[in-house]
Amino acid sequence: MSFNTFGRVFRFSTWGESHGPALGAVVDGCPPGIALSEDDIQPWLDKRRPGTSRFTTQRQEPDRVRILSGVFEGRTTGTPISLMIENIDQRSKDYSEVAQAYRPGHADYAYEMKYGFRDYRGGGRSSARETAARVAAGSVARKLMSDVRIRAYLVELGGDQIDRALFDDTQIDNNPFFCPDAHAAVRWETLVDDARKRGSSLGAVIECVAEGVPPGWGAPLYAKLDSELAAAMMSINAVKGVEIGDGFHAARLTGETNADAMRPGNDGKPVFLANHAGGVAGGISTGQPVVVRVALKPTSSILTPVETIDRDGVAAEIMTKGRHDPCVGIRAAPVVEAMMALVLADQKLLHRAQTGK
Amino acid sequence: MSFNTFGRVFRFSTWGESHGPALGAVVDGCPPGIALSEDDIQPWLDKRRPGTSRFTTQRQEPDRVRILSGVFEGRTTGTPISLMIENIDQRSKDYSEVAQAYRPGHADYAYEMKYGFRDYRGGGRSSARETAARVAAGSVARKLMSDVRIRAYLVELGGDQIDRALFDDTQIDNNPFFCPDAHAAVRWETLVDDARKRGSSLGAVIECVAEGVPPGWGAPLYAKLDSELAAAMMSINAVKGVEIGDGFHAARLTGETNADAMRPGNDGKPVFLANHAGGVAGGISTGQPVVVRVALKPTSSILTPVETIDRDGVAAEIMTKGRHDPCVGIRAAPVVEAMMALVLADQKLLHRAQTGK
Amino acid sequence: MSFNTFGRVFRFSTWGESHGPALGAVVDGCPPGIALSEDDIQPWLDKRRPGTSRFTTQRQEPDRVRILSGVFEGRTTGTPISLMIENIDQRSKDYSEVAQAYRPGHADYAYEMKYGFRDYRGGGRSSARETAARVAAGSVARKLMSDVRIRAYLVELGGDQIDRALFDDTQIDNNPFFCPDAHAAVRWETLVDDARKRGSSLGAVIECVAEGVPPGWGAPLYAKLDSELAAAMMSINAVKGVEIGDGFHAARLTGETNADAMRPGNDGKPVFLANHAGGVAGGISTGQPVVVRVALKPTSSILTPVETIDRDGVAAEIMTKGRHDPCVGIRAAPVVEAMMALVLADQKLLHRAQTGK
Amino acid sequence: MSFNTFGRVFRFSTWGESHGPALGAVVDGCPPGIALSEDDIQPWLDKRRPGTSRFTTQRQEPDRVRILSGVFEGRTTGTPISLMIENIDQRSKDYSEVAQAYRPGHADYAYEMKYGFRDYRGGGRSSARETAARVAAGSVARKLMSDVRIRAYLVELGGDQIDRALFDDTQIDNNPFFCPDAHAAVRWETLVDDARKRGSSLGAVIECVAEGVPPGWGAPLYAKLDSELAAAMMSINAVKGVEIGDGFHAARLTGETNADAMRPGNDGKPVFLANHAGGVAGGISTGQPVVVRVALKPTSSILTPVETIDRDGVAAEIMTKGRHDPCVGIRAAPVVEAMMALVLADQKLLHRAQTGK
């Protein structure tokens, strides 16, 4: 069953396909009176926009967003905000091969088993172009939380990790990889170039940190802050794993090393001596930075032929021509940020609903 | 905001605390006419039941389930199924220390920041006793899918991994660790004994495999099968990471090694040459086994003192007396199975809703 | 599909059948820190309790409520509140006739077409005993809104209307009919006695007024305050019509007579010169009293034989023996109040979520 | 809180305002493989379109719908269907009066109390132009139920009822009032003309009948078919009352007259001797026609001055210039049909989810 709405009170619904005339998001539940214009949204879309370096797809999409409703005299009215982005560069090409055989790693086979047929042009609805709508919606979410700073960056590309000792926040926007380690960024240029030339692709790990989240957002057990984040991140194309705080590494700690000890702080707030928990305990924010890591598989669209079958069940080989990101993980960083913002904005309003705070 | 209902059409709501009179689940949306009695539910509860070995908490709870509604003449009526489990062994003890100071690793501080106060007896609502309700609900979900076989087992405990070459499905129920590697199970006895004696605790990684899931369950992008599983698993106490298929390892593969190549099968169905995807592509099941792995942090309740602050913000030390699992990951295996069953049952009905299949 | 949860952020789920061991409600989303005990709930249940006069069913149910979770040291914790009421007086009787043939006016035939079989004992899930759970949940909702006063009363019984000129609020609890007109109450005694003696039954119209609702609760178009009220009221057994404010009569007014003119008030708030709108404009409360009227059909369980068919499609006659209300509309008044409270409490929290007010 | 999504598995979300660039609906949960083009939608929009007779507003809107997603090669893909209608004739005018004072009968005051300000151009989001989006979505819903025939018509206008003895289905589309009684249609011409000339407006009662609904759609108690219909109808602008079957009249019947007696039919299905229930018993369809009646208040926008206050609380008078329907109830008939279709399509899929039928 198709459920393209995400969130509980601050919600967004997305629509659109890779090769349709447009795609969009409807943001519902936004508080009234918030200053909002296309200029608040466009910069975030530009960060995710394709074709900005040789390390991403060469599809040229300006990704200009239009606000079609929900804003009056520069402020949100409290009613649905419709955001639309036109598709410009849907290159006409021959899709007969993709239409007839299933691309391993793609959703082709699963889609066809579910729906009986599929929109094979550029992946249809399963295309990562849909994430532009998330980024647009996420930029509205950010406007609700001026005290929260959200940052996503790659900590690993093609198996090559950053050196945490070289972490430099200011580097993230200085290279085409959202990489906080300048040395790693240089190595990754070679990695991605090589993969692209080989007709191969690479995976990545993105870390996202939200600072300024007050203690108390979230809920116990179900609709936990971490559970909502996990659902949000796993809903992004190509994501295969999600960690909160130390994540899988926490399973190797002992109870006493994993405990984030607390000390009295100068401002009446506690000082935590560590953040193994990633800012979430029992499903509720602790006031520490919220830390999420997501693993993205390598782009499934590759120029290397792979064994498959066609729609008649006959053995075939297939490679995916066209313009593709050699590493979808790169452009996913702004998308991960957007999903973090969308979950947090929803949680902020839910917390206010229950507690009045 | 408190949302203790999980699922979209096959749903369950849980209620109850560690030290209240009872806990329970209300299962709603169950198809009518399914044979169901307490005998279908009790065996699954018994697998999760505390006090069955020296490696789990010594709290003695019979965990007897009662069906209070929704079943008539041995069959489900299609109306809500109320399941109740009484708490028997809530030992009266002195909670004044826990009431006054925050236990690091626990939700104490976050709860109090959210709600202004908290039920400190045994963790209140955040106690893992709540998972009994999930297991009860999950046993109803299993009845909807007689063709699906779900199995969860520990692949790592305290950082010590099983040897995949020694994997033996029949071993899982032969040791107190749901461990499929008989040699690892022996090593883990020592590990857990040592941790318990030191007043420490250990984490674990659980793998859960669902076989027999047909292709087509799930949805693209939002409410993806993997997104729903991620939310479900991350909602379990102490879980800090979730992987589908190769998970974080997939980020280190190339596009061609990650692709699950397909060949024609004898029965008209394709044969997949690998299952890196963990049975889910584009959010939809492929017909391969659905594979999930979850990381559980070490039990936060430990006898080792940890630095903290009290409710007045004054520096303190705290240790958690009482009866606790030295590794919550062990008894979480039946809970992971239950959540897998609950997600799949919901997806089965959703798929039927949209496609009639 | 069975959906026994009502509300969006302040929600309740009910379970239980007429002849099961118990019935109950789980209230989720309640703010923390609200004083709550069984003594807050029992008085409302007592108003709806059967067997208190000769004008209601003679089934003897004490309807004692127990709080099983969600309250600690006399205050709500913010987690699910489980409320349970045991069934005591499920009289064993011969249901073979009801089991074999469909009672017109009842859900027997529709249930069986949907589910393939049905719990025929006292109507099973469709019994009005379920409304006890609503009343229990509603009494929690009332605790969230100390400024709101909710009152339901019968304005018509068996086609006999009250005289609005004789409306006396203090009379409502002075007769067994929740009737604000003392003269009508006397007439209704005869009406109901006669109907009971004839083996017949009567319908009723209930009016419910909520005073003290501030302007601003609700939403435009969907999830409108009036739309939520309509769904809530129509979900009560035997309800066949719902009106807001002037309701159907408004269709006979002109635009200028229907307009609730406004004048400046002494306290800065406007004075409305009329309340045709029933306190709701564009789906949002205006600050005037919220006025709802609901029509209840006559009790379907009657001692008069009615033509029907049996499960084999053969012509039959059926009458419903047993203990029944000659007018279900009477005891529905506390249920209508409860549903009003539940909708308003949800809207209060939703309004707070979006606007912070 | 803004919730502009309606439905449970077959859902639609609408967006847009009276004077924005466009409005639209996103239909989610539609089964795949259904033939769908603009030509399936446009005829229904044309029925609701303004400016087609002197009895409706003179605003000229072509209401051309575009399908922006979810359809591939003429068939639905199972993913979100985005429908957009551009606003063409938003006449520029002076709104300063409406901006400064509250129009009684309108949502102006309630909106401003909720949101702090409002889009005053043509009612903004609360404009009945939004119903075009519902009609577009409803036309998709119809495609799911080829066996169901839905018809809405006016049974009363300005207090003048049709003569049921003159009911003629073929007349409904032969006059500008969706009136099944040719004589009444003639009278209504005069009524509406007079009201328009006086600067007044009239209310109406619409009846909607769905034939061909099989027994079994719906659910007991909550999410009842009638409860969902009540919410759907009450969400339409200007609706103040909803009845199912005999509705308020049922409250005046006795149990035996209200019972819809059943007799064996020739085709194995029962024959009902009456339909007081309006095709719904216990929340579930009986197989009889589903009958709903809705009351619409007179248009609030009138040229007659009404007493009010301005935003500063000062006494004022206001009249609403501009182009308005003298009776919004007329053009609401296609909207009521659309909401009936949307509820039924959702219920069809929900029934299939739970029972496989």
Cβ-proximal residues to B20 (8 Å cutoff; 6+ apart), any chain: B87, B90, C68, C69
Q: Tell me if residue D84 falls in helix, strand or coil.
A: strand
pLDDT on residue A92: 62
pLDDT on residue D123: 85
Q: Is the pLDDT of residue B135 over 70?
A: yes
ipTM of the complex: 0.97
Q: Choose the mutation target among A5, A30, A72 for the interface with D, i.e. most D CBs under 10 Å.
A: A72
The DSSP letter of residue C298 is P
Q: Is the pLDDT of residue D91 over 80?
A: no
How many A/D residue pairs have CB atoms within 8 Å?
149
Neighbours of chain A (3+ CB pairs under 8 A): B, C, D
Residue with tokens 């070679």, as numbered in its chain: A190
Q: Choose the mutation target among C252, C275, C355 for the interface with D, i.e. most D CBs under 10 Å.
A: C252
**C-alpha to C-alpha distances, D106 to A45, A72, D309, D352, nearest whole angstrom:** 39, 19, 13, 41
* Percentage with pLDDT > 90 across chain C: 87
CB contact under 8 A, A354 and C354: no
CA–CA distance, B166 with D298 (Å, rounded to integer): 78
- Both tokens of D126, joined, read 């609360």
Residues of B in contact with D356 (CB under 8 A): 31, 352
CA–CA distance, A111 with B225 (Å, rounded to integer): 13
Residue with tokens 């529905």, as numbered in its chain: C332
pLDDT on residue B340: 98
In chain D the first and final C-alpha atoms are separated, in Å, by 36
Q: Is the pLDDT of residue D323 over 80?
A: no
**pLDDT for B263-283, tens place per residue?**
999 888 899 999 999 999 999
Residues of A in contact with B1 (CB under 8 A): 8-9, 219, 223, 350-351, 353-354
CA–CA distance, D355 with D214 (Å, rounded to integer): 14
Q: Tell me if residue A86 falls in helix, strand or coil.
A: strand
Residues of C in contact with A354 (CB under 8 A): 9, 29-32, 78, 349
Closest to C299 (Cα-Cα) out of C282, C320, C280: C320
How many A/B residue pairs have CB atoms within 8 Å?
392
Specify the range with the lowest mean pLDDT, choosing from C90-99, D5-14, D126-135, D153-162. C90-99
Q: Choose the mutation target among D6, D72, D349 for the interface with A, i.e. most A CBs under 10 Å.
A: D72
Instruction: Give the β-pairing of B270-272 and B280-281.
Output: unpaired
Inter-residue long-range contacts of D195-200, CB under 8 Å, 24+ positions, other chains counted: D195/C254, D195/D158, D195/D326, D195/D327, D196/D54, D196/D55, D196/D326, D198/D304, D199/D302, D199/D303, D199/D304, D199/D319, D200/C254, D200/C255, D200/C256, D200/D298, D200/D302, D200/D303, D200/D304, D200/D326
Closest to D12 (Cα-Cα) out of B245, A80, A236: A80
Which residue in the set B220, B353, B356 is minimally distant from D9, CB to CB?
B353
CB contact under 8 A, D9 and B350: yes
CB contact under 8 A, A356 and C352: yes
List, in sequence order, every residue forming a beta bridge with B12; answer none if it has no partner: B6, B27
Task: Determine which helix (DSSP H) or strand (DSSP E) holds D306, and give its type and residue range.
Answer: strand D306-309
pLDDT band with cut points at 50, 70 and 90 for residue C92: low
pLDDT band with cut points at 50, 70 and 90 for residue C21: very high
C-beta neighbour count of A276 within 10 angstroms: 22
Residues of C in contact with B144 (CB under 8 A): none
| Three state DSSP letters for B285-329 | ECCCCEEEEEEECCCCCCCCCEEEEECCCCEEEECCCCCCCCCHH
CB contact under 8 A, D13 and A26: yes
Q: Is the pLDDT of residue C302 over 80?
A: yes
Neighbours of chain B (3+ CB pairs under 8 A): A, C, D
- Both tokens of D42, joined, read 């446009």
CB contact under 8 A, C5 and D222: yes
Sign of CA dihedral D26, D31, D32, D38: negative
pLDDT on residue A89: 81
pLDDT on residue A3: 95
pLDDT on residue C331: 94
Closest Cα in chain B, distance from residue D222 (Å): 11
pLDDT on residue D46: 94
Q: Is the pLDDT of residue B306 over 90?
A: yes
The chain A residue lying nearest B348, using CA atoms, is A1
Closest Cα in chain B, distance from residue A64 (Å): 22
Residues of B in contact with D220 (CB under 8 A): 79
The chain D residue lying nearest A71, using CA atoms, is D119
Q: Does this model's pTM top 0.80?
A: yes
pLDDT on residue C50: 79
Residues of C in contact with A78 (CB under 8 A): 354-355
The chain B residue lying nearest C70, using CA atoms, is B16
Closest Cα in chain B, distance from residue D224 (Å): 13
CB contact under 8 A, D79 and A17: yes
Which residue in the set C9, C32, C355 is minimally distant from A32, CB to CB?
C355
Mean pLDDT of chain B: 95
CB contact under 8 A, A79 and C354: no
CB contact under 8 A, B32 and D355: yes
Cβ-proximal residues to A138 (8 Å cutoff; 6+ apart), any chain: A44, A337, A338, A339, A340, A341, A342
Residues of D in contact with B350 (CB under 8 A): 9, 353
pLDDT band with cut points at 50, 70 and 90 for residue B23: very high
CB contact under 8 A, A9 and C350: yes
pLDDT band with cut points at 50, 70 and 90 for residue B90: confident
pLDDT on residue B92: 62
pLDDT on residue B111: 95
Bigger pLDDT: C112 or D50? Answer: C112
pLDDT band with cut points at 50, 70 and 90 for residue D92: low
The chain A residue lying nearest B296, using CA atoms, is A251
Side chain identity, residue A221? L
Residues of A in contact with B237 (CB under 8 A): 221, 282
Whether the CB-CB separation of B8 and D350 falls below 8 Å is answered with no
**C-alpha to C-alpha distances, C167 to C171, C203, C246, nearest whole angstrom:** 8, 20, 18
Q: Choose the mutation target among B10, B13, B237 for the interface with C, i.e. most C CBs under 10 Å.
A: B13
Closest Cα in chain C, distance from residue A281 (Å): 16
List, in sequence order, every residue forming a beta bridge with B150; answer none if it has no partner: B210
CB contact under 8 A, B105 and A258: yes
Residues of D in contact with C125 (CB under 8 A): 220-221
CB contact under 8 A, C79 and A355: no
Specify the range with the lowest mean pLDDT, choosing from A219-233, C321-335, D64-78, D213-227. C321-335
pLDDT band with cut points at 50, 70 and 90 for residue B93: confident
Whether the CB-CB separation of B290 and B210 falls below 8 Å is answered with yes
The DSSP letter of residue C101 is B
pLDDT on residue C93: 72
**pLDDT for B170-191, tens place per residue?**
999 999 999 999 999 999 999 9
CB contact under 8 A, C15 and B125: no
pLDDT on residue D86: 95
Instruction: Give the β-pairing of D5-6 and C315-318.
Output: unpaired
pLDDT band with cut points at 50, 70 and 90 for residue D338: very high
pLDDT on residue C56: 84
Q: Choose the mutation target among B14, B15, B258 for the interface with A, i.e. most A CBs under 10 Å.
A: B258
The chain D residue lying nearest B222, using CA atoms, is D79
Residues of D in contact with B29 (CB under 8 A): 353-354
Cβ-proximal residues to A157 (8 Å cutoff; 6+ apart), any chain: A177, A179, A184, A188, A191, A192, A202, A203, A204, A205, A327, A329, A330
Q: Give every residue of chain A whose pLDDT is below 50, as ranges.
A: none
- Where helices occur in chain B by DSSP H, the ranges are 38-48, 96-100, 108-115, 131-143, 182-198, 225-234, 255-258, 328-355
CB contact under 8 A, D31 and B78: no
Mean pLDDT of chain C: 95
